[in-house]
Chain A
Amino acid sequence: MTRAQVAIRGVSQRFGVDGASVTALDGIDLDVPDSQFVSVVGPSGCGKSTLLSLVAGLRQPSSGSVLCDGELITAPMPRKVGMIFQEANLLPWLSAIDNVAFPLKLRRVPKAERLEAAARMLDLTGLAGFESRLPHQLSGGMKQRVAIARGLVQNPAVLLMDEPFASLDEQTRMVLGDELLRIWSETRKTVLFVTHSLHEAVYLADRVIVLSARPGRIVDDVPVSLPRPRTFAMTSTEAFGVLKDRIWQHIRHAERA
């Protein structure tokens, strides 16, 4: 039996908004085995991003617990869990390679060592030759590749991605989706991938978690048994359509409510 890399146990999250208490997540239980690629979808405002920020250690759940590798997460653990946001959030005054090396600088890794690791990651994400570019000299897709390289540079076992391709155009998203799958097949990370694109969710993942509208609860856990490597041709197969439709029924129901 595979050990759960990320274990979310009875997690609820409440926020105070204008004096009223809002429940963002309610009783979430989720075990993600090592090397699994999990997509998380749900209607807008269902707490998908909140769930990721709990695993990232950016906030603490109101109740329940989040464990990584059996260890309780109470603060960011960048060596175990890498986080990639919707915006690349690169430091604008640092070159691509220095941005990728930045997490290592925070840990006071010697300069030669961290630049070597960063160069390897840029190579992995297809950015060899762009090391000295500043963020404003890179396209949106390339910035997000730098952010992915930065998320991978400490070789964390878990990669959290919060709508990482949402601000990119359709073609770039598709290319980066395939790139992500290639990187994933080479590195075998455990991935939690939040998206609002059902197509992307099914195409990338081994498993799609569907959350309900606020308060966010898990309403379905859809295994995606499409063979790997995934190809564009698969997206027009009946099996792909059936999966997307099953998820859409949940979301449509929730968005109407």
Chain B
Amino acid sequence: MIRSSRGLRLSQAALYVGILVAWEVLPRSGMVPRLFVPPLSEALETLVRDRREYLGSLPATLGEILVSYAIACGGGILAGQLIASVPAARRMLLPVLRGAYAVPLVVLYPVMMVWFGLGSESKIAFASIYAFIPTMLTAIAGVAALSPGLAETAHALGATRTQQILYVALPASLPSIVAALRLGGALVIVGVIVAEMLGAADGLGFLITRQRTLLNSPGVYAGIILVLAMTGLHEALLRRLERKVAAYRES
């Protein structure tokens, strides 16, 4: 057991190292044009050299991500729980929401720019809407997967309303809440960066686009590395949350 999970970790580490080595070697050997993918070291060098510019773009982006996260994930999970717990609402709304999910919402971004301007508001509006529906659908699916028998049994065993929520409903829906946060968070980051790339005056996406128009590939990739760092951090935080959730469910 220990050996196999250790072996898994080793092979995952080897995969990451392999990707990083390929990122460095393939452009240097000329197999991939440097304009498309510059060597990793050049991107990192740019990131370190121009760190004031890159780090300076982060506050705007992070602020937009945090606000959108709260709206999309908080609102999405709350709305999902509410809709899922009212069967009539679920039956009525679910097909509509699934249909809305299929619409490529990025077409709305120009409208939002006209509406909210070039500043943070348009990014927040777009990223929130972009992540809201999938987050809500994930939360609904999690609640729908709960067996109604659990609630009935808890009732028969004499659980009060508070005990029902604390000992049954909440632990039962925690995994779906974490799953909704994972998806919603990832989509919020995508939404904010894409919106900044399409039209902004500040932020990481704006910086990446500017470097691209200058054909400065190492500069583009320096920004991409920061985006990767953000998604990696988000994932790491969720893993910690997942472990806490598991501990709560067992207590």
Contacts and interface: CB of A to CB of B under 8 A. Distances in A.
B87 to A, nearest CB: 15
B168 A106 contact: no
Contacts, number: 51
B96 interface: no
Contact of A76 (B156, B168, B249, B250): B156
Given A87-B149, A89-B149, A91-B150, A78 B156 contact: yes
Interface residues of A, number: 21
A106 B158 contact: yes
A57 B155 CA distance: 9
B152 interface: yes
Contacts of B168: 91
A89 B158 contact: no
The A contact surface, by secondary structure, is loop
B155 A76 contact: yes
Interface in A56-100: 56-58, 76-79, 83, 85, 87, 89, 91-94
Interface in B115-151: 147, 149-150
A58 B155 contact: yes
Interface residues of B, number: 18
B175 to A, nearest CB: 9
Given A93-B250, A106-B163, A106-B167, A83 B156 contact: yes
B156 A58 contact: yes
B86 interface: no
B147 A106 contact: no
Contacts of B149: 85, 87, 89
A93 B156 contact: no
Nearest to A75: B158
Contacts of B153: 83, 85, 89
Contact of A106 (B152, B157, B172, B250): B157
B174 to A, nearest CB: 9
A106 B159 contact: yes
B171 interface: yes
A76 B158 contact: yes
A76 B151 CA distance: 13
Given A76-B158, A78-B157, A78-B158, A89 B150 contact: yes
Contact of A58 (B152, B159, B163, B250): B152
A93 B171 contact: yes
Nearest to A103: B157
A93 B249 contact: yes
A102 B250 CA distance: 12
A85 B156 CA distance: 10
A107 interface: yes
Contacts of B155: 58, 76
Interface string B195-234: 0000000000000000000000000000000000000000
Contact of B157 (A92, A93, A102): A102
Contacts of A78: 156-158
A105 interface: yes
A133 B143 CA distance: 25
Contacts of A58: 152, 155-156
A143 B204 CA distance: 54
Nearest to A160: B156
B158 to A, nearest CB: 4
Nearest to A150: B157
Contacts of B156: 56-58, 76, 78, 83
B43 to A, nearest CB: 44
A79 B158 CA distance: 9
Contact of B158 (A87, A94, A107): A107
Contacts of B250: 93-94
Contacts of B152: 58, 85, 89
A103 B158 contact: yes
Given A58-B152, A76-B155, A93-B250, 7 more contacts: A76-B157, A76-B158, A78-B156, A83-B157, A92-B172, A103-B158, A106-B159
21 contacts: A56-B156, A76-B155, A76-B157, A78-B156, A78-B157, A78-B158, A83-B157, A85-B152, A87-B147, A87-B149, A89-B147, A89-B150, A91-B150, A91-B167, A92-B172, A93-B172, A105-B167, A106-B158, A106-B159, A106-B160, A107-B158
- Please list the 8 inter-chain residue pairs (A to B) with the smallest Cβ-Cβ separation, ordered nearest first: A78-B158, A93-B249, A89-B153, A89-B149, A83-B156, A103-B157, A87-B149, A78-B157
